Structure 1
Amino acid sequence: MMLRAAVLGHPISHSKSPALHRAAYARLGVDIAYDAVDLTVPQLPEFLAAVRADGSWRGLSVTMPLKAAMAAAVDSVRGVARQLGVVNTVAFEAAADTAGPAGPARLVGYNTDVAGIVNALRYAGVRPRPAAAILGGGGTAAAAVAALQELGAPEAAVYVRDVARAAEARAAAAAVGLPLRILELSAAAPAIASADVVVSTLPPRAADGLAGHLAASGRPTPGVLLDAAYDPWPSRIAAEWAAGGGTVVPGLEMLLYQAVEQVRLFTGHDGPLPAEVIDVMCDAVGAPRRVF
């Protein structure tokens, strides 16, 4: 029986997750078919009911707008995902039935975005206790909050278009104990230019206006910018950041590092993935090779 996994979200046609996962499974010699499924929040319960009844599923990668909804839909949540209430990964685990054969698989939620952000920033040279800012306040911003706490940031400023709509970032900060300031995105340009690290979790092109302000100000941007959006690339804010002298980390690297953890969970691989598996994942999406 061919095993199955997929990335879920809306829209999803741009996702590079299929290329990453297929390359890994081919190199590992594991028969897991990995697809992209366009899915909205109202469609999630029906989809999960179908996969629960199908014993071939091994994992789900979860992207916007499903991350918070998935946290409430799985059977259990582990690790930092429990603190954040945001799930980007679902692993299917066999459920033992003491009265007979094993029952239906249990759906277990994780968050590998945090590891993806931490590794991407560490490889870019971010030092401990950075002055930090986050653009956006949703599910990926929640992961960024946890990642910055792990990197030792004393606090973080979160810039959003509507200060009343940053519930996920606020909840994450309370859960991991990181002091947070919620500010209007329109005021972000001067502050982020002097930050040690900025994580943009905004959708593609949503930071174009902010990039225009950076360009007009002529301010240097010596810090590190991780832009989670990777299509189109380079984004306007990434281009302006680089022009200001800063280091830019494409979202593709974050995607790669979080996918490495997903592959381990979906295959049950014990320990780090072999270097040659990570190499083929990098090649599949044109990401730079790093030493893990």
Structure 2
Amino acid sequence: MSLRAAVLGHPISHSKSPALHHAAYSRLGIGISYTAIDVTEQLLPSLMRQLRRQPGWRGLSVTMPLKTAMVGEVDEVRGVAKALGVVNTVCFEEHADGTRAVGFNTDVAGIVNAVRHAGARTPSAPVILGGGGTAAAAVAALSELGAGSARIFVRDPARTAEVRAAGESLGLSLAIRPLTEAAKATAAADVVISTLPPRAADGLASEIAALKTSTPGVLLDVAYDPWPSLIASVWEAGGGAVVPGLEMLLYQAVEQVRLFSRLEEEVNASVIDVMCDAVGLPRRAL
């Protein structure tokens, strides 16, 4: 029986996940095919019913705009995904009563590892840009890094249910403000996690540049295409450390490979190296 996995989202043609996963499974010597499936939130339930009927599925990577909707499509949610109500990973597990779809969230580990690699430790004045499912994962990541509070700047303050729920669940105090007020606080932050879509932070980047001040902290820009983003360029020009979203994608994909392959110990530095090579990242170890 052929083994399968896929990344789901809309749009999905830009995804680097197939390159990361193919490299890992080739290095591991395990025959798991990995494809990209373009699916909207409206079509997700019918797709999941279809996949459940097909043998050989090991797992799904879940990207925008499906991370919240996927919670209702799995049989069980585990770990931090349960606290967040946001799923970016689905594993298919065989049980005596049949196959069960289990939801996880590896975005949190991806953010934590990416920010730590850039030198950040315990943020005292962190900022999150955006209010969706990835922003909720950023709240959990900041909590894991030891932050007690965070300022969140969003385009639409009415659409912040996910981050508010994450803050309440994890005990992280949140101050949610409109994105139009973000420039000064963002420039002064020790850790900034931008979960905005590509180019959505361009206006803010111009405002930060106009401040003509230093940006001493660490910026993780989850959007990785095009790269460098305008906000990343402005941040680096101000003296700060920039972490590309591709690095977060790498770290969260490593956790997915461990789950999908069921070869926890074998997913080691050599596997991470070939995953880095597949997307043009410098080689690094977790």
Interval containing the TM-score (normalised by the shorter chain): over 0.9
Match among 236, 246, 250 for residue 244 of structure 2: 250
User: 2:180 aligned to 186, 198, 223, which one?
Assistant: 186
For residues 68-100 of structure 1, give each alpha carbon's deviation from its aligned partner in whole angstroms, at most 9, with x where no partner exists.
000111000000000000000000000213xxx
Partner of 1:94: 94
Partner of 2:234: 240
Structure 1 Cα separation of the partners of residues 268 and 201 of structure 2 = 37
- How many Å apart are 1:129 and its aligned residue? 3.7
Q: How much has 1:273 moved relative to structure 2?
A: 1.4
* Cα deviation, residue 270, structure 1: 2.8
Partner residue, 1:176: 170
2:247–2:281 contact (8 Å) kept in structure 1:
yes
Letter in 2 for 1:132: P
Residue of structure 2 equivalent to 1:100: none
- Comparing 17-26 with 128-137, greater Cα deviation is found at 128-137
Following superposition, the deviation at residue 272 of structure 1 comes to 6.2
Residue among 220, 228, 240 paired with 1:226: 220
Residue by residue, what CA displacement relative to the aligned partner does 1:181-202 show, whole Å, maximum 9, x if unpaired? Answer: 0001011010111110000000
Q: How far apart in 2 are the matches of 1:129 and 1:117?
A: 13
Question: Corresponding residue for 2:49?
Answer: 49
Contact 1:3-1:33 within 8 A present in 2 as well: yes
What is residue 40 of structure 2 aligned with on the other side? Answer: 40
126-135 or 193-202: bigger deviation: 126-135
Normalising by the residue count of structure 1, what TM-score does the alignment of the two structures yield? 0.96
Q: Report 1:193-212 matches (<5 A).
A: 193-212=187-206
Q: Which secondary structure does the structure 1 equivalent of 2:263 belong to?
A: coil
Give structure 1 stretches of 5+ with no counterpart: 98-102
Amino acid at match of 2:181: A
Residues 200-252 of structure 1: CA deviation (Å, up to 9, x unaligned): 00000000000010111111100000000000000000000000000000000
Shift of 1:271: 3.1
Residues 1:83 and 2:78 aligned together: no
How far, CA to CA, are the matches of 1:130 and 1:91 in structure 2? 35
Which is further off, 127-136 or 270-279? 270-279
**What amino acid is aligned across from residue 65 of structure 1 in structure 2?**
P
Q: Say if 1:247 and 1:117 are closer, same or farther in 2 by CA, change over 3 A.
A: same
